[in-house]
């Protein structure tokens, strides 16, 4: 046990662990909306745009977060505008806008080779060099995101589920979209020095996708994804120390492992649920994947019957019960 | 404007960017009506609904709902049920969460529902026969239950006007019948209802008023009067046979072959 705690004796590790927890939780929370809105590619793109802005900011002697923030915000707004007309789809808009910003950063780096090294952290992540300022920024963005998700829960849910109808019901969908884009840009910029531009998309998507497999409830998915993000961040960070590997990579690999485990558990759960539903009428196998609370009839080859919720009925020499519940899929 | 009009479109032109869908449209519908808009794909039915709902701004003219511009109406007085085909059935929401969305009109920024809201949802679900499914995922419902869930979301704000896009598409004939029957009851309770549909026979059997629409209003009135071979061929651009059987009207595809 004491061996397990050894790395915590180092300040750099404690800071790194705290940063990994905060980034994991933040990405887990905001990742829910990314996954459900089908925007996985934008996380990848915006981090690249922010990188270009950070490099440009460096040349212009502007703070890293300011440069990255302006570029991320500009890219998000440009993508929103380009996709409004529906002629240009979002994947194309993201591809053009964010890669252009990234290319600008690469062009500057290749021209001024002297500072190439300092941007490796932004590209691949460097959790060991986390400063107090980095921690304050990540914590602030996490708190702002939690508050926004709590107070905008209803309009966020409605506009994520059904944006067109949400507008009819008075949800200001465009405003919500802008607010979400700002939150996302903030989360990406705050996280990119920790997990790296190249790894951030997976950090955003893995906890939410894992949570989606485990629950069918939106509110539970938000909670579970945030929790998974925290755990994945912590386990990934600890693995980074133990295996002496890049922290961004170990966090992403932990996320991928969690996703695989969730897939396996869902497969086993569905198999069990299906087997539980199978029963036999003579030699005819038969399953109930849906309920019959409306008492509708269905047929089994030569004989028809209708049945109600939670009842026993007989088939030849045996009796069995229909619970009438759909396959369980909640945590 | 007459105080009896629930919807009034005056010289309305609208469309998408440089692509006008209809121009100089005039349409008045009375309070308490239950009307179906029919027309072929691409005739502008959905555009007309969006214009009425205020989600598509007209290029010209005026849209009045209950005598006022849509934007100045109190929230929830006009409600909408989208086509079931457009719903994301994999989205992680339960029946209760979907119905609760309709309460956004209360401007509540508290994420969890109040006891009052829960009671309201439970009562409406009971009325619509879906109370047993409140905690179920929407994917686990039958077509009729799904339609009732989205109807409940629209009704929870106690609207004066209910707009439904293709409520009879993608469901079996019994569910179609049940849905139209339910809408008829809601209409009798005082809600004005307007739907779009492709199902002419369902319109003829269930709806008291029909609007034949193809970029403009071709005819409007009772189905028995409006459904003639002439108006339907003008609306759809093809031959349709109209069979009158007592007070019933049946529409059939024409099979006129040239030899």
pLDDT along chain B (259 residues), means of 10: 77 82 88 90 88 88 87 81 90 94 75 89 93 93 91 92 88 83 91 89 84 89 83 78 70 56
Q: In what order do the strands lie in the sheet with B68-69?
A: B19-30, B5-16, B60-65, B68-69
Beta strand pairing call for B192-197 and B161-165: parallel
Q: How far is CA A119 from CA A56, A101, A196, in A?
A: 12, 15, 10
CA distance A94 to B184: 47
List all residues 6 or more positions away from B110 whose beta carbon is below 8 Å from its beta carbon.
none
Beta strands B209-213; B34-38: pairing state: parallel
Q: What integer pLDDT is reported at residue B41 of this predicted model?
A: 85
Res A319 pLDDT > 60:
no
**Residues B105, B114 contacting (CB under 8 angstroms):** no
As a whole number of Å, the end-to-end CA separation of chain A is 31
CA distance B196 to B205: 15
Take residue A309 and report the two structure tokens written for it: 């919720």
Q: What is the mean pLDDT of residues A191-199?
A: 83
- For chain A, the residue count is 331
Cα separation, A279 vs A261, in Å, equals 29
Task: Quote the CA–CA distance of A224 and B62 in Å, as a whole number.
Answer: 48
- Range of lowest pLDDT (A42-51, A304-313, B73-82, B226-235): A304-313
Please tell me which of the candidates B78, B97, B133 has its beta carbon nearest to residue A218. Answer: B97
Q: What pLDDT is stored for residue A286 in this prediction? A: 67
Question: How close A143 comes to chain B (CA, Å)?
Answer: 16
CA distance A246 to A244: 7
Residue B80's pLDDT is 93
Contact yes or no for A147/A156 (Cβ under 8 A): no
Whether the CB of A41 is below 8 Å from some CB of chain B: the reply is no
pLDDT, tens only, B119-148: 999 999 999 999 999 999 999 998 889 999
The rounded Cα A250 to chain-centroid distance in angstroms is 17
How would residue A182 be classed by pLDDT, with cut points 50, 70 and 90?
confident
A170's torsion region: left (phi>0), alpha (psi -120 to 50) or beta? Answer: left
Which of residues A67 and A296 earns the better pLDDT score?
A: A67
Residue B139's pLDDT is 92
Check A326 against B108: CB less than 8 A apart.
Answer: no
Q: Using CB atoms, which residue from B104, B145, B157 is nearest to A154?
A: B104
Taking only the tens place, the pLDDT of each residue in B223-235 is 888 888 788 888 8
Three-state DSSP string of B20-57: EEEEEEEEEEECCCEEEEECCCCCCHHHHHHHHHCCCC
Residue A133 to chain B, least CA–CA distance (Å): 32
Determine the pLDDT at residue B76.
76
Using alpha carbons, list the distances in angstroms from residue B74 to A167, A296, B82, B104.
Answer: 14, 41, 20, 13
Question: Which of the residue ranges A59-68, A146-155, A294-303, B241-250 has the most confident prediction, judged by mean pLDDT?
Answer: A146-155
Pick the closest to residue B89 from B150, B155, B137 (CA basis): B137
What pLDDT is stored for residue B255 in this prediction? Answer: 57
Nearest Cα to Cα of residue A179 among A80, A35, A100:
A80
d(CA A238, CA A247): 9
Using a CB-CB cut-off of 8 Å, the residues of chain B touching A293 are 132-133
Segment A27-44 mean pLDDT:
90
Render pLDDT for B174-201 as a digit per residue (tens, 0 to 9). Answer: 888 888 889 999 999 999 999 998 888 8
Distance in angstroms (rounded) separating the CA atoms of residues A171 and A176: 8
Residues in chain B: 259
Residue A158 has pLDDT above 90, yes or no: yes
Taking only the tens place, the pLDDT of each residue in A203-239 is 999 999 999 999 988 999 999 999 999 999 999 989 9
Q: What is the pLDDT of residues A104-123, one digit of tens each?
A: 988 888 877 665 556 777 77
Nearest to A197 by CA among A122, A291, A289, A89: A122
With CB atoms and an 8 Å threshold, state whether A216 touches B109: no
Residue B250 C-alpha, separation from nearest chain A C-alpha, in angstroms: 28
Q: Considering only CB atoms, which chain A residues are within 8 Å of B105?
A: 169-170
- What is the pTM assigned to this prediction? 0.81
Asked if pLDDT for residue A329 goes beyond 80, the answer is no
Measured between alpha carbons, how far is B231 from B224 in angstroms, rounded to an integer?
12
Alpha-carbon span A24 to A142, nearest angstrom: 10
Closest CA to B238 of B75, B28, B39: B39
CB contact under 8 A, B92 and A36: yes
Tokens of A155: 């309009």
- d(CA B250, CA B171) in angstroms, rounded, equals 20
């Amino acid at each position: 046990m004491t061996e397990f705690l050894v790395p915590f004796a180092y300040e750099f590790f404690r800071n790194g662990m705290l940063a990994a927890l905060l980034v994991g939780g933040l990405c887990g929370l905001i990742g829910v909306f990314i996954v459900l809105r089908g925007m996985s590619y934008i996380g990848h793109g915006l981090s690249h745009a922010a990188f270009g802005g950070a490099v440009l900011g460096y040349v212009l002697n502007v703070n890293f977060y300011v440069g990255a923030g302006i570029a991320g915000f500009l890219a998000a707004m440009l993508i929103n505008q380009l996709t409004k007309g529906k002629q240009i789809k979002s994947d194309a808009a993201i591809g053009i806008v964010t890669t252009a910003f990234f290319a600008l950063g690469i062009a500057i780096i290749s021209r001024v080779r002297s500072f190439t090294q300092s941007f490796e952290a932004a590209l691949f992540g460097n959790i060991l060099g986390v400063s107090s300022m980095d921690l304050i920024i990540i914590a602030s963005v996490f708190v702002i995101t939690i508050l926004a998700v709590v107070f905008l829960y209803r309009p966020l849910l409605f506009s994520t589920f059904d944006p067109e109808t949400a507008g009819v019901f008075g949800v200001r969908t465009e405003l919500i979209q802008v607010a979400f884009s700002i939150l996302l840009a903030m989360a990406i910029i705050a996280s990119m020095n920790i997990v790296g531009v190249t790894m951030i998309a997976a950090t955003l998507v893995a906890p939410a996708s894992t949570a989606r497999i485990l629950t069918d409830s939106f509110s539970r998915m938000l909670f579970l994804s945030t929790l998974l993000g925290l755990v994945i961040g912590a386990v990934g960070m600890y693995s980074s120390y133990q295996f002496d590997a890049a922290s961004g990579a170990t966090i992403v690999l932990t996320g991928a492992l969690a996703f695989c485990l969730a897939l396996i558990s869902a497969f086993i759960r569905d198999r069990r649920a299906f087997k539980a539903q199978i029963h036999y009428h003579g030699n005819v196998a038969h399953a109930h994947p849906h309920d019959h609370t409306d008492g509708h009839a269905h047929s089994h080859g030569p004989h028809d019957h209708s049945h109600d919720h939670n009842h026993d009925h007989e088939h030849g020499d045996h009796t069995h019960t229909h619970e009438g519940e759909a396959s369980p899929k909640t945590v | 404007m007459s105080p009896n009009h629930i919807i009034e479109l005056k010289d309305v032109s609208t469309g998408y960017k440089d692509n006008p869908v209809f121009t100089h449209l005039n349409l008045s519908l009375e309070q308490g009506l239950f009307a179906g808009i029919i027309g072929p794909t691409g005739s502008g039915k959905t555009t007309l609904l969006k214009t009425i709902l205020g989600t598509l701004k007209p290029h010209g003219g005026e849209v009045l709902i209950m005598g006022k511009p849509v934007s100045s109406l109190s929230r929830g007085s006009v409600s909408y049920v989208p086509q079931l085909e457009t719903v994301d059935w994999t989205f992680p929401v339960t029946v209760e969460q979907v119905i609760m969305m309709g309460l956004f009109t209360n401007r509540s920024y508290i994420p969890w529902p109040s006891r009052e809201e829960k009671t309201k949802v439970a009562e409406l679900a009971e009325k619509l026969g879906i109370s047993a499914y409140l905690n179920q995922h929407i994917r686990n419902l039958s077509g009729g239950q799904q339609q009732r869930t989205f109807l409940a979301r629209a009704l929870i704000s106690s609207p004066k006007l209910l707009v439904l896009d293709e409520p009879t598409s993608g469901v079996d004939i019994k569910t179609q019948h049940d849905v139209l029957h339910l809408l008829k009851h809601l209409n009798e309770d005082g809600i004005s209802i307007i739907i779009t549909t492709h199902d002419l026979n369902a319109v003829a059997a269930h709806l008291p008023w029909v609007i034949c629409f193809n970029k403009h209003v071709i005819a409007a009135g009772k189905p028995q009067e409006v459904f003639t071979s002439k108006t339907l061929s003008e609306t759809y651009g093809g031959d349709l046979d109209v069979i009158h059987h007592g007070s019933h009207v049946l529409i059939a595809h024409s099979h006129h072959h040239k030899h």
